[in-house]
Amino acid sequence: DINNELDEKETESWIRLIRVLTHEIMNSITPITSLSDTLLKMEGSMNEKVREGIEAIGSTGKGLIGFVESYRRVTRIPAPRLRSFYVLPFLERIVTLIRHDTADRALDIRIGVEPEELLLYADEDMIGQVVLNLLKNAVHALQGRTDGTIRIAATGSESGEITLSVTDNGCGIPPEVAANIFMPFFTTKENGSGIGLSVSRQIMRLHNGSISLKCSRPGETTFKLLFS
């Protein structure tokens, strides 16, 4: 599949770029925060404004280090630990987490698994991260709606392929946004990091699978996970 090959090359290029940038940024920030901590520990009197300035430098530096570390996660995805697990209780556990976070909102979340005893051979924690990210995105798309619905469906084929989809009835994703959603750091959320779908794509590739936006229009947005 030429599209998968192109997507993989693009992701590899992004990862190499991120590694270089985070390495250089960390090399510059770490000595600054270390120096500020050393100065603040020095004995003797210090002008209060100087102290405030050094504290501000240290605090900002540490904030930037945390910021960079969050983006380093894009390049540090571990190898999956594969095992078989039942899909239905796995999805029920993820939905329980979402319901806890959205207890103050009226959301209709339903799960459909066919066959009911469907097994998936994957890293349960990593796939849980992918599904949880898709559900959080769906919840975000349903903000302000009183009739918000999320449908999670999982099916197995005779050939052994397993498909898992997440569908919401939100406003949909505009075409100009949909074209960039898997790009690292791209986000339309005010406080979003832009790494959720990028990391999800890498996790699916490590499972020899794929993630895609199958449908997006007002009233219906569907993301699909395919395990082959």
Residues written for the chain? 228
Q: Which domains does the chain have, with CATH numbers?
A: 2-75 (1.10.287), 83-227 (3.30.565.10)
- pLDDT one-digit tens code per residue, 44-72: 656 776 777 777 777 777 777 776 776 66
**Which CA distances in Å does 116 have to 89, 96, 99?**
10, 18, 22
Residue 94 is predicted with a pLDDT of 92
pTM of the model: 0.70
| Sequence-ordered list of residues with C-beta below 8 angstroms from that of 14, at least 6 positions apart, any chain | 74, 183, 184, 198
Reduce the DSSP state of residue 224 to 3 states and report it: strand
Closest CA to 120 of 49, 188, 204: 204
HSE (side-chain half, CA atoms, 13 Å) at 152: 22
Distance CA 111, CA 132 (A): 14
Q: What is the 3-state secondary structure (H, E, C) of 148-201?
A: EEEEEEEEECCCCCEEEEEEECCCCCCHHHHCCCCCCCCCCCCCCCCCHHHHHH
- pLDDT one-digit tens code per residue, 3-17: 565 566 666 666 666
| Band of residue 164 on the pLDDT scale cut at 50, 70, 90 | very high
166, 211 Cβ separation under 8 angstroms = no
| Band of residue 120 on the pLDDT scale cut at 50, 70, 90 | very high
For the chain, report the end-to-end CA distance as a whole number of angstroms.
14
Q: Quick one: CA torsion of 199, 201, 101, 142, rounded to 10 degrees?
A: 130
Residue 116 is predicted with a pLDDT of 94
Pairing of strands 162-168, 209-217: unpaired
86, 118 Cβ separation under 8 angstroms = yes
User: What is the mean predicted confidence (pLDDT) over 144-166?
Assistant: 93
* pLDDT at residue 222 is higher than 60: yes
* pLDDT at residue 75 is higher than 70: no
Residue 190 is predicted with a pLDDT of 62
